[in-house]
Structure 1
Amino acid sequence: MPELPEMETYRQLLIPRLAGKAVTGVQIEREKSINVPAADFTAAVLGVRVQGISRRAKHLLFHMEQNRVLLLHLMLGGAMVWGTPEERPNRTVQVELAFGGDRLYFIGLRLGYLHLHQEEEAVRLLRKLGPEPFDPAFTEREFIGLFGQKRGYLKTALVDQSVLSGIGNCYSDEICFTAGILPQRKLDSLSEEELVRLFQAMRSTLSEAASHGGYMDIPLFKGDTLTGGFDPLCRVYDREGEPCVRCGTAIARVDFASKKSFSCPGCQH
C-alpha cells in the first residue's frame, strides 16, 4: 500500500504537470471507485482547473476550482500513471482524467477511491487522522506524550492512522529497525530514551524514503527515475532470510496482530 513517501513523491511529480490545467475529458470504468454517479462526477470536474495538490497522510487532495476537491486514497494495489493515450498502462483503468494530450490514469482502485467533495467536507473527513510526522508542531515531546499513553504493540500504534498518519507496514518496520527496537514490543515497555530513538528514526526514515521516491515500483510516467528508488534501500521490509546490513543476522518475518512484520532478531531488542 502506498504510504507517506509514495504519496509525497506523487504530489511533487504531479504538481508541475497538473497545476493550472483544466480537465478536458473524464472516463469512469468503475463507478464504485467514485462516490457520486459518473455523470455528476464528469459534470463537476470537466473544464475545471487543478489549482494545487496537497497530501494528508496517505491521501492526495487535488484542489480544483469552484471549491472542489478530488480526494484520492490508493489503498492496497492502487497506483497512478501519467502519459499520452499511447502510453496507457496495460492494466485495468478505473478512472481516467484527460488534460489536453495527456492523461492521468488511476489503476488498481479495487479498494481505493477518487472521491469528489467540497473543500470543507474533505477537511472534515480528514480531521480524524493523527498528526503528520513532519508537522513542526509534532515535536519529540509530543511524540513521547502520545505513545507514552498508549497500550498494545509498537507496530500496531505506528500504523494506526488515528494515532499517527501516513505510516504503514513497510515504514513501520523500517523505523523500528533504524531505532533498534522490535516492532512487537509492548508500548508500556518502552523507555523514554527508546521513544526518542523512535521519533528520530521516524523522521530520518521517512525523509530518506521520500527523497528516493518511496518503494513502489510502478513509474509515474515514461522516463520517471525517482519513483520506487527506495525499494532496494529497504533494510528489513520483505527481506526475510537476507543478512542484516547492520549485524549479519538473517532477517525474520514475524506475524502478529494480523500484520506481517520484518525485523532483525540480532540487533533489534
Structure 2
Amino acid sequence: MPELPEMETYKTLLRSFIGGRKITDVAIQREKSINVAVERFVNEVSNQTIQKISRRAKYLVFQLENGSCLLLHLMLGGWMFFGKEEDKPERTIQVKLSFGDQHLFFIGLRLGYLHLLSPEMVDEELEKIGPEPLAPAFTLEAFHQRLEKRKGTMKSVLINQEVLAGIGNRYSDEILWHAEIHPNKKVHELNESQSLRVFESIQFILRKGIEQGGYMENPLFKGDGKTGHYQMFVHDKEGEQCPRCHAQIIKEEISSRKTFFCPNCQQ
C-alpha cells in the first residue's frame, strides 16, 4: 500500500503534469471505485480545472474549480499512470481522467477509491487523522504527547493513523530498524533516549523515502526516473543480512501485520 513518501511523490509530480489543467473527459470502468452515480460524477468533474493538489496522510485531494474535491486513497494494490493512450500499461483501468490527448489512469482500485466530495466532507473524512510527521509543528515534544497514555507495541502505534499520519506497514519496519527498537516493544517501555531515536528515525526514513521517490515498482509516466528508488533496509527482506549487524532478518506477525526486523540489533 502506498504510504506517505509514495503519495508525496505522486503529489509533486502530478502538480507539474495536471495542476491548472482542465479535465476534458472522464471514463468510469468500475462504478465501485467512485461514490456517486456515474452520470453525476462525469457531469460534475468534466470540464473542471484542477486548481490544487494536496496530500493528507495517505490521501491525495484534487480541488476542482467548482469547489468540489476528488479524494483519492489507493489502498492495497492501487497506482496511477499519466500519459497518452498508447503508452498506458496493459492493466485494467478503473477510472480515467483526460487532459486532451493525455490521461491520468487509475489502476488497481479494487479496494481504493476516487470519491467526489465537498471540502466539508473531505474535512470530515480526514478529521481523525493524526499530525503530519514531517510538518514543522511536529516537534519532539509533540511526539511525546502523541505517545502519552498509548498502550500496545511500537509497531501498532506507528501504523495507527490517529496517532501519526501516513506511516504504514513498510515504513514502520524501516523506522524501527533505523531506531534500533524492537517492533514488539511496548510504548511505555521506551526510555528518553529510545524515544528520541524513534522521533529522529521517523524524520530520516520518511525524508529519505521522499527523496528517493518511494518504493512503488510501477512508473507514473513513460521515462519516469523519479519514482520507486527507495531500497528497503529490512521490510520484505526475510532471511537476508541486516545492513547494520549482518544478523539474519526475520519475519513475525505483530499487530496483525507481517513485520520484518533484526532480532540482534533491535532491542
TM-score per shorter chain, which class? over 0.9
User: In structure 2, the residue corresponding to 1:254 is in which secondary structure?
Assistant: strand
Q: Distance in 1 between matches of 2:102 and 2:255?
A: 43
User: In structure 1, the residue corresponding to 2:185 is in which secondary structure?
Assistant: coil
Contact 2:219 2:228 in 1 (8 A): yes
Instruction: Report the alpha carbon displacement of residue 221 of structure 1 after superposing the two structures with TM.
Output: 0.2
Partner of 2:121: 121
Residue type matched to 1:15 in 2? Answer: R
- Correspondences of 1:84-163 after superposition (within 5 Å): 84-163=84-163
Name the TM-score, length of structure 1 as normaliser: 0.98
- Correspondences of 1:2-17 after superposition (within 5 Å): 2-17=2-17
Instruction: Report the alpha carbon displacement of residue 244 of structure 1 after superposing the two structures with TM.
Output: 0.8
Partner of 2:252: 254
Instruction: Report the alpha carbon displacement of residue 262 of structure 1 after superposing the two structures with TM.
Output: 0.4
Residue type matched to 1:239 in 2? Answer: K
Instruction: Report the alpha carbon displacement of residue 148 of structure 1 after superposing the two structures with TM.
Output: 3.1
- Correspondences of 1:222-261 after superposition (within 5 Å): 222-230=222-230, 233-261=231-259
Percent identical pairs in the alignment equals 49
Runs of 4+ in 1 over 2 A off after TM superposition: none
User: In structure 2, the residue corresponding to 1:260 is in which secondary structure?
Assistant: strand
Q: Deviations over 1:168-207 (max 9, x none)?
A: 0100000001100011111111112211110000001000
Unaligned runs of 5+ in 2: none
Residue type matched to 2:125 in 1? Answer: L
Q: Distance in 2 between matches of 1:181 and 1:221?
A: 37
Q: Distance in 1 between matches of 2:134 and 2:255?
A: 27
Residue type matched to 1:160 in 2? Answer: N
Residue type matched to 2:25 in 1? Answer: G
Q: Distance in 1 between matches of 2:266 and 2:147?
A: 19
Instruction: Report the alpha carbon displacement of residue 240 of structure 1 after superposing the two structures with TM.
Output: 0.5
User: In structure 2, the residue corresponding to 1:185 is in which secondary structure?
Assistant: coil
Q: Deviations over 1:38-95 (max 9, x none)?
A: 1000000100000111000000001110111100000000000001010122111100
Instruction: Report the alpha carbon displacement of residue 257 of structure 1 after superposing the two structures with TM.
Output: 2.1
User: In structure 2, the residue corresponding to 1:238 is in which secondary structure?
Assistant: coil
Residue type matched to 1:215 in 2? Answer: Y
Residue type matched to 1:249 in 2? Answer: A
Q: Deviations over 1:113-171 (max 9, x none)?
A: 00001112212211110111012111101101211320001111100111111000100
Partner of 1:179: 179
Partner of 1:83: 83
Q: Distance in 2 between matches of 1:197 and 1:37?
A: 49
Contact 1:144 1:196 in 2 (8 A): no
Per mean C-alpha deviation after superposition, the further-off stretch among 1-10 and 186-195 is 186-195
Q: Distance in 2 between matches of 1:147 and 1:192?
A: 12
Residue type matched to 1:258 in 2? Answer: S
Q: Distance in 2 between matches of 1:214 and 1:50?
A: 24
Instruction: Report the alpha carbon displacement of residue 98 of structure 1 after superposing the two structures with TM.
Output: 0.4
Partner of 1:48: 48
2:208 is the alignment partner of 1:208:
yes
Contact 1:144 1:192 in 2 (8 A): no
Q: Distance in 2 between matches of 1:27 and 1:34?
A: 11
Partner of 1:65: 65
Q: Distance in 2 between matches of 1:11 and 1:162?
A: 22
Q: Distance in 2 between matches of 1:150 and 1:192?
A: 16
User: In structure 1, the residue corresponding to 2:147 is in which secondary structure?
Assistant: helix
